[in-house]
Amino acid sequence: MPEGSYRFQVGSLGCTVLSDGYVDYPSPWFFPNAQPSALAEALEKRRLPHDYILSPYTCLLIETGRRVLLVDTGAGPASSTTGAIVARLEVAGIRPRDVDAVVLTHAHPDHIGGAVTADMRPLYPNAAYYISDREWEFWTGSHRDLTGMRLPEQMKGSMRDEARRCLEALRHHLEPLEAETEIVPGVYAIPAPGHTPGHLALRLESGGEQLLNLGDAAVHPLHLEHPEWENGFDLAADQAAATRRTLLDLASDPAAAGHTHVMAFHFPFPSVGRVQRRNGAWEWIPGW
């Protein structure tokens, strides 16, 4: 596979992580309640810059043999460093019209911006777009209160406008989900609220193997090591923290040891690995 793509199997499910690019964010946006000295120490330990976080955008292609699913669509041409998904798909032999299901974990611009064309048509014309009904209602309703997000007001406004714009363009192609749903055999959408009201995680199961796609339930490995550190993009920080713990407990269950892998949209490429419990928190172990 080309650079920016990473293939693996979950049982009989063919999976490919596809990079849409990356964006740099100020470090306090990702860790707004972390003590600056503790955050600096943690970043220094990883030999990472202190003032910004380089955040990859990684989508997941799932091929079942009969169906082609894309989990999240990237940001589209929102910046000079994003918008690579269609090219990655085409190199993998997949054209936009070949995708028959798109799962949107939530409606933040970096996940939904690549779902539509410049003239506001669905980029994947033959796909059903799956999203939580709560997510749809929140972003298209009259009460889109983003007070809980620890971000500048300009950023909140941009996110609000882009979500509304994309969802309205997809209105007649959306399949709202009310509860945990098996979208195709072995691929389950799981309610994981907190980051947004209708945020979804994905669970893949096949041949005794599992992959848990966290979406944005955690956006950096430091959120595993320091579960008390919030994410400024979370709308409801307490609920998001509870969801994160639930998912990480599931992923690190000793009964499933050796069988469960984890993916997270913003983790270092190729964004897949394992988690294990350590000192009351979790450790990220990258790699398949």
pLDDT tens digits along 61-92: 999 999 999 999 999 987 889 999 999 999 88
Percent of the chain surpassing pLDDT 70: 98
Q: What is the token pair recorded at 17? A: 């992580």
Question: Could you give the angle at the alpha carbon of 269 between the alpha carbons of 266 and 270, nearest 5°?
Answer: 110
pLDDT for position 288:
81
Can you point out the beta strands (E) in the chain?
5-10, 13-26, 52-63, 68-71, 101-103, 128-132, 174-177, 181-184, 187-191, 200-206, 209-213, 260-263, 272-278, 281-286
d(Cα 16, Cα 7) in Å, to the nearest integer?
A: 4
Quote the mean pLDDT of the chain. 94
The SS3 call for residue 112 is helix
**Model confidence band, residue 2 (pLDDT cutoffs 50, 70, 90):** very low
| pLDDT over 50 at 108, yes or no | yes
Report the 10 Å Cβ neighbour count for 225: 16
| pLDDT over 80 at 158, yes or no | yes
Q: Phi and psi dihedrals of 87, rounded to 5?
A: -65, -40
Q: Phi and psi dihedrals of 165, rounded to 5?
A: -60, -50
Question: Could you give the angle at the alpha carbon of 198 between the alpha carbons of 26 and 14, nearest 5°?
Answer: 85
**Model confidence band, residue 256 (pLDDT cutoffs 50, 70, 90):** low
Which single residue is written with the structure tokens 């945020």?
199
Which single residue is written with the structure tokens 């955050």?
39
The SS3 call for residue 145 is coil
**Model confidence band, residue 220 (pLDDT cutoffs 50, 70, 90):** very high
Pick from 12, 35, 123: which is nearest to 76 by CA?
Answer: 123
Q: What is the mean pLDDT of residues 10-30?
A: 96
d(Cα 126, Cα 111) in Å, to the nearest integer?
A: 19
d(Cα 69, Cα 187) in Å, to the nearest integer?
A: 10
Record the pTM: 0.95
Domain extents for the chain?
Answer: 5-279
* CATH number assigned to the domain covering 5-279: 3.60.15.10
Could you please report the per-residue DSSP string of 234-282? -SSHHHHHHHHHHHHHHHT-GGGTTTEEEE-TTSSTT-EEEEEEETTEE
d(Cα 106, Cα 216) in Å, to the nearest integer?
A: 9
CB 184 within 8 A of CB 71: no
Report the 10 Å Cβ neighbour count for 68: 22
Q: What is the mean pLDDT of residues 231-235?
A: 98
CB 4 within 8 A of CB 18: yes
Q: What is the token pair recorded at 85? A: 């998904």
